[in-house]
Structures are given as C-alpha cells and as structure tokens.
Chains A and B, each alone.
Chain A
C-alpha cells in the first residue's frame, strides 16, 4: 500500500554547491566545444575553461572552510568542512593535472594521448592520424566530468547520490586510462581491467546499499544512523551491507585486498592521468568512506574499526613489501600508493576529529607530491616514449641533477623524512591514532614506513650513486605547464613540511562532518 506523504518543496542551496556546478558546467560545455569549435582552437578553449572553472571552485571551496555546515537538496548533499576541504584539494589536483595534459614538447608526435582511442594499435589509421598531428581533446571534458563527480562524491549524503557520483567519476577514468599514445596495448588492458573490476566494485556498493536500505529503511545517512540506533540485537543484513559498501569504496582507494587493479592501471594509463587518478580519486574515496562510516554507520563503530584496523595493517605491510620487488617506476609508485592508502586508513581508525583533520592534511600532502612525481616521470624518456624501467633511471642525477633532486624530494616526502610534507602528514595521522589507543597499529605503520623507505631510497641510490647506463633514458625539456606543475608541487611539498601550521589549522577547522 502506498502512503502519500505531504509534499514539501526540497531546499536547493545553489550557493553551497558552486564548486560542483562550475566544474560540471566546464565539462558539459566542453562536450559542445569538442563538437563545434575548430580543431586548432579546441585545446586552448578546453584548458581555459578548465582553469577558470577550477579556480572558481577552489576559491569558493577555500572561502567556505569554517562556514556553518548545511545539508541541501533534500539531504542528498552535505556541504561541511571535509566536503569543501576535499573539493579544494580535488580542484588543485585537477588544475595541476590539466596543465600536465597540455605538454606537447616532450613526445615528438605530440601530447601523451592517442589521436583516436578507437583505432587499432599499430594500424594504418593510427599512423595517418599521428602524421596529421590530430590532437585528442576529449580528455579535457572527460577529466572535468571525473573531477565534478569527485566533488559530488565527497558531498554525497545518501547512498544513491553517492552511487551516481561514483559512476560519474569512474566512467571517464576508465576511458582516460586507455588513451595512452605509447604502449597502447598496455593502456587498453589498463582501461579494460579498471572498467571490469570497477564495475564489479560498483555492483558491490549498490548491493550493499540495498541491504542497508532493507535493514534501516532509508538511503539517507542521517536516517540510516537513526535506524541503526533504534535497532535491537545484531542485524546480519546491516553488517553484510556495511561490508559490501566498504568493498566498493576500499576498491577506489586501493586498499588490500582490493588493490589488484592498481599497479596495472597506474602503469598502463597515460602518466598525466595516473597522477590525476592517484591524487584526486584517493582523496574523493577516502572522504566518502569516512562520511559513510562516521555519519551513516556511526552506530557500528566497534564493528567497522576492527575491519579497518585489519585492512589498514595488511595494506601498509603488503603495499610496502610488494613495492620492494618492482622494477618499473610507475608500478613502484602504484604500490607506494597502496601503502599510503594503508597509512590513511590508520587515520580513519581513530574515528575522531583529530583523525579527520590529520587525514585531510595527509591527502593534500600526498596528492601534491603524487602529481609532482608523475609529472617528473613524464620527462624521463627514450625512443619508445617514457622510460619507466628503473634501469633507465640509473645515473640520472649526473645527467639531470635538478630533475633527479626534485624527484628525490618527492620520494623523501613519500618516505616521511622530516622537513617534507609527508613527515608532517604521518606525524599527525599517527599521533591521532596513538591518541585513540591504537599504538599497535602505529607501530605497524612505522615498521611499514621503514620498509617503504628502503625502496624509495633505492631509487635515489640508482639516480645518484649508480653510473649512467648505456642507452639509458634522456630527460626532455618540458614546456611551461609541466615545469610550473613540478615547481609548484615541489615548493608546496617543502612548504607543507616546514610551515604546515596554517594548513593544519584549516584542516582542523574542516574536520567535522555534518550529521
């Protein structure tokens, strides 16, 4: 029997969602630009729109830190501290990545993207398009769609909105992963793998949502929370649903055991896209995971902290240990990204505001260093494109001391050496967890850091102490965009390590989820 409820006009607070609107607008208009603008102007129009939209989003989000939190769109979107902090971070990462996308002076054939994703690798069509210097410009709207999806994902306050946002951010990423100009088969494999496993994870999320709906009678986080508080006894439906939702989200942040796609996708995707995915997707998924667990499933805190505790420990250890055996820079950074997912989960386990603030800072620090590190990877090349095999990096410190030093800086930040942002990030995350009594987890985290330091340092050894290999890689001279990105990320990595105070304060102002 259907019960008609009194219809109330939902409240639409458009001012609160300006970052989402601006980014979506750039994406949607971008589709039109690609259809109608003359080919030679498309890229510049796309980039200008992206820069304007993301700058507006960034400024709006930063200005909103500390504002009173609101839920709007009938409770579907929550605009609170973590939302706006994450939106600002995503805007920064996207802006930097778009600048790396524009790089055209490294590859003699053009930028990092294939002229036509649908052409067979090695085919005549591909050759002709390359000769005609046809330029793929759909990557810009695709990236903006992904970024807009992420901004919506972090604000989602019910499971359905969250699922829609998840798909909006994921589908463009699947496509972007398969658009590499070089090593196209690897790139296709990456796209397909990411799509299949991602679709599988989304299905888990959706099924988990329906179970939670069944158990609590609502999709809205606040109402789920109320439903959980009023339940009696253990509800297996609810627990299974929680677990399945966790699977969907942990997949996106590459936590063990849902990390299998990460090395392949990070390696196969065009490197600028890899940087974007590693930084922005992780930010979005971690915030979404926190919102689901803290706001909707706060009543089950004792159950899910056990789950996250175990996953954090396994992720840190396995990510660090597996990275030891890698011989490819991009795969190594992928495993490092897995290990960092573990470190972030340590912050989630503490389940308090100090932990949230710590995670927010960590995400920003890690994301900046990641975008910078992958931008560095695009510069090291040989005849076949990027030379990502570690042997090609031997002696890089002699041939290009500046690039090698900057890359070493990012690695030291990943390793958490003092005076870099990574150290401050680890310090705040670990002290928040320690304060919640999780000192065993902190010890595991520190031991994993020691293991992780080994493989970061190994790359530094290779770059500085080894002699240059015969036929090794050369370092390309990048255009202004990539140079600006590497400079900015390196400076911020040092700055956040030396004077993190203002950003830490911003993060602790933004640490409360609206309920």
Chain B
C-alpha cells in the first residue's frame, strides 16, 4: 500500500495541534506548531512531485467508507486546482504562525490554543480542498467555522465578540442552506444507490429546474464565504477585529474554500444551472468589484481598506470562474493563489505597522518611510501586488480573467477593468497617507522592520515575484483541471471576433 499522502496532509496539522496544546511552555508550543506546518509543507511538495500533468482530474485518490449507511466516504483526490490551493495553504501557514508570534502575548488568553487553533483550521481547509465527497466537503466547510470563530472571538480587537458572532451566523446560515442542497442532491439518485461521492453525483442526470434550486443552495453558501456582494458584510468586521495574521489567513487562505467550491463543485455538479445563471453571477461579481473598490477608497482604517479591497478581488475571481472560458477560469484559479499571497502580505505588513503605532487609523500615520524605509518598501510592493502591477503574479491572473471574460461578456469585462483604476487609487492613497509626507512627533521614532519580521514575510514576496515571472508553474496544472471541468459543463470558448492573420488553421 502506498503512503496516503493526502490523508497525511490533513492528519499532520491535527496531530501538530494536539501536541501544541499539550507541550509545557508557550515558546515550545509556538515552535512545535511551526515545525508541524513545515512538515505539512514538505508533504505538499511530495504530493506535488507525484502529481502528473495531463493525468486524470483527480490523482493520488484515497477512498475509505466512513458512514456506510448513507454513503459518506473519506474520499480525497488531488486536482490541479486543489494542488495550487494546498500549496498556497502550506506556504501561508508557517508564515502566519511566525507573524502571530507576539499577538497573543499579554492578552491573558492561552497562547497554545491560539497556535493549535490555526493548525486545526489548516487541517480543515486542506481537507476541504482535497475532498471528493460532497458531504465530507460540507462537514469540513462547516466545522472550520469553529476554530476561526474562536480565533476572532478570543484574540481579536475591541469589537471581537460582535465580529465573531456576525462571522459565525452568516457562514452558519449559508452552510445550513447548503446542507439542504446537499441532501436534495443526494436524494436525486435512486434509493439503494445513493452516495455523496462527487463522481457519483456528477454522473447524475438532474432536470434543470432542480439543478437551479440546488445551484442556488450551494452558491449562497459559497457567495457568503467568498464573499460576494451583497453577502459580504461580515468580512470587513471579521478581518478588522481579527489580529492581522488571522485576517491574512482568513481572507488569504480560508475564504478561498468558497471560490474553490464554485469551481470544483458547482460547475461540474450543476452544469446546466451554471450556464443559465452565469450572467446573474457575473453581474454580482462586477458589482462586487466596483463596490468593494469604491468603499475601500472611503475607508480611514487600514485593515478595512484591505478588507474591502479583498471583496473587490473576490469579485474578480468569481467573475473569472463564471465567465466560463478556459482563460478566465484558469486565470481566476491562479488569482486565488496570487490574491492569497498579496492580501496575506498586505495584512501582515500592515499588521507590523499597526503594532508599532497601536492604531489602525490612516490619520495617525505619516512620513513613515523616513524612519522605517524597509517597512515602507514592503508595504509598497504588497500594495503594488494588490493593484496588479505587471511583473507580479496578480497581474498575470487579473489580466487572464479580464481577457477571458471579454471574449464572452464584453460589457462586464469593460466595467471590471475600472476595478484596477480603483485599486490603484485606494492602495496609493493608503501608501501616501502612511508613508509619505512629513513625520509627526508620534511617528518619527518608528522602529523599522526587524530581521525576524523580514524573514517571515519574505517567502510571500518571493513567490509573488517568482509567479509573476514564471506563472506556468501554477498555470499548467490548473489549466489541466479547468479544461476538464469546463468540458463537463459543456461550454467551449467563443470564437475570437478577429482571427489572427497567419494564425493556426
């Protein structure tokens, strides 16, 4: 029997969390947690090396019956899309664990629990990315709310209780609606042959009205998680009240489960409904892009700016997924990774800045680039990544989404392009207000980034640039998976309006 590497990817963080909770000192706990996340990273590399380009959609599959009476399986499989996302998770987790080193100290709360909860969250997120059983996905999707809820509610800012409650209720509501759809989907198979396996459910032939309802059930849950306008209002509160590293993890990694669900579950499960309702979803996505950008410009709180920029960027991802062209869908999946890196970096660097001054208000800053040039530099690069600067990973992905969307929805793509202008505005306003201008008495002695902090965030910046230069590392496996998914949906890319002269026959 081969080593079940995918199961190990879920089990190792759980074991790590247990050990982290049991070791005697806080410092050992922190190091244990980081060690566990590095083991997971190594396992991810092992899984990536075994992944074959051009192979079947799901590889390294594992399947064990879990609850036989109703066909629930512990069923995992690695697709190009999930590979990209577990790689993001594997990289982001040690970074976040390093960045949160001091965040719980002095809060009076358990530091061990802080670290253990992040590992539990990682296990559930990775499990959701890998699961090829719809109920298993649902269980992990729902169960991951609990550690996140405690991370916000225990370690967050002044209004943490409100933010944690809002986060939980929104997502729990979405989850319960999805549960109804999961049950409804399961019951489409004749009695006696029912299972929750994705492969079995995809093979079902569901009439288009039923598909529409089930599509709605899944999409409400994912649109809350992703989040998509008008179901987004929990994210600014949660991301603002959570500690910076938790905000980075939440919007950078965990929320990707929502957009992942759209690509990996909704499209193959409900092909007819996806085609029918794509224009509606595209419209909501465009509204998200513009709305998120406009509101971000009006914010005075650094973390709220980043949170609203995330809403705008999630709009781009959803737009790309439901444009249903191979370029846009692949670009959207790549954007999930690059957005994870860039938003994660923005939240972490902003967190370092906030930790120095103890305020989230733009008005309390100014001229920081003189006393803290390295901090300013990192914030600038993270910001430029947020506004999709060419040469960085976000540029490639955003460009692919917009070009791919244009071939089907010209108007939507044109409006969405304004999102880039808006993102340039809010990012540069944030940079200008905090870093440039004269220093104030409070900011003139701001210490610069320490070596530890630079080492922690460096991997994110290296990857942002590396993936901007050589995106094919991620694009090739992702493209494989999205092609197969779009084939299942039954869409083909529209013919180009102007054929390239001397192009392929």
Contacts and interface: CB of A to CB of B under 8 A. Distances in A.
Given A439-B184, A446-B179, A465 B153 contact: yes
Interface in A481-505: 499-501, 504-505
Interface in A401-426: 412, 417-419, 423-424
Contact of B172 (A434, A453, A465): A453
A239 to B, nearest CB: 32
Interface in B113-145: 138-140, 142-143, 145
Contact of B139 (A418, A428, A430, A439): A418
A464 interface: yes
A148 interface: no
Interface in B167-193: 168-169, 172-173, 176-177, 179-180, 183-184, 186-187, 191
Contacts of A447: 176
B176 A434 contact: no
- Interface SS majority for chain A: helix
Given A417-B142, A431-B186, A431-B187, A446 B154 contact: no
A461 interface: yes
B32 to A, nearest CB: 20
A504 B154 contact: no
A465 B164 CA distance: 10
Nearest to B213: A439
B151 to A, nearest CB: 12
A501 B161 contact: no
Contacts of B67: 424, 499-501, 504
Interface of B: 66-70, 138-140, 142-143, 145-146, 149-150, 153-154, 160-161, 164-165, 168-169, 172-173, 176-177, 179-180, 183-184, 186-187, 191
For B140, B143, B173, B176, the residue with the greatest tally of chain A CB atoms inside 10 Å of its CB is B176
Nearest to B161: A465
Contacts of A419: 139, 143
B184 A464 contact: no
Interface string A462-483: 0011100000000000000000
B139 A461 contact: no
For B161, B173, B183, the residue with the greatest tally of chain A CB atoms inside 10 Å of its CB is B183
Contacts of B146: 412, 417
Given A431-B183, A442-B180, A450 B172 contact: yes
B139 A431 contact: no
A464 B154 contact: yes
Given A431-B70, A450-B176, A508-B69, A465 B183 contact: no
B127 to A, nearest CB: 11
Contact of B165 (A430, A457, A464): A457
Given A418-B139, A450-B173, A505-B69, A464 B153 contact: yes
Contacts of A446: 176-177, 179-180
Contacts, number: 81
A62 interface: no
Given A418-B139, A431-B186, A449 B161 contact: no
B165 A434 contact: no
Contacts of A439: 180, 184
Which 5 pairs between the two chains have the least Cβ-Cβ distance? A418-B139, A504-B69, A446-B176, A431-B183, A418-B142
Contacts of A412: 146
Given A434-B187, A443-B180, A454-B169, A464 B143 contact: no
B138 A418 contact: yes
B169 A417 contact: no
A461 B69 contact: no
13 contacts: A417-B143, A427-B183, A430-B180, A431-B183, A434-B180, A443-B180, A450-B173, A461-B164, A464-B154, A499-B66, A500-B67, A501-B66, A501-B68
A433 B42 CA distance: 46
A500 B139 CA distance: 14
A139 to B, nearest CB: 38
Given A464-B150, A465-B154, A501-B68, A450 B142 contact: no
A435 interface: yes
A265 to B, nearest CB: 30
A130 to B, nearest CB: 41
A442 B186 CA distance: 14
A434 B184 CA distance: 7
Nearest to A433: B183
A461 B143 CA distance: 17
Nearest to A435: B187
Contacts of B180: 430, 434, 439, 442-443, 446
A418 B143 contact: yes
A412 B142 CA distance: 12
Contacts of B150: 464
Contacts of A430: 179-180, 183
A499 B150 CA distance: 25
A317 to B, nearest CB: 14
Contacts of A431: 70, 183, 186-187
Contact of A450 (B161, B169, B186): B169
B431 to A, nearest CB: 35
Nearest to A505: B69
Contacts of B68: 501, 505
A442 B183 contact: yes
A449 B179 CA distance: 11
Given A424-B67, A449-B176, A499-B66, 13 more contacts: A419-B139, A419-B143, A427-B70, A427-B183, A435-B187, A446-B180, A450-B176, A454-B169, A458-B165, A461-B161, A461-B164, A465-B161, A501-B67
A435 B165 CA distance: 33
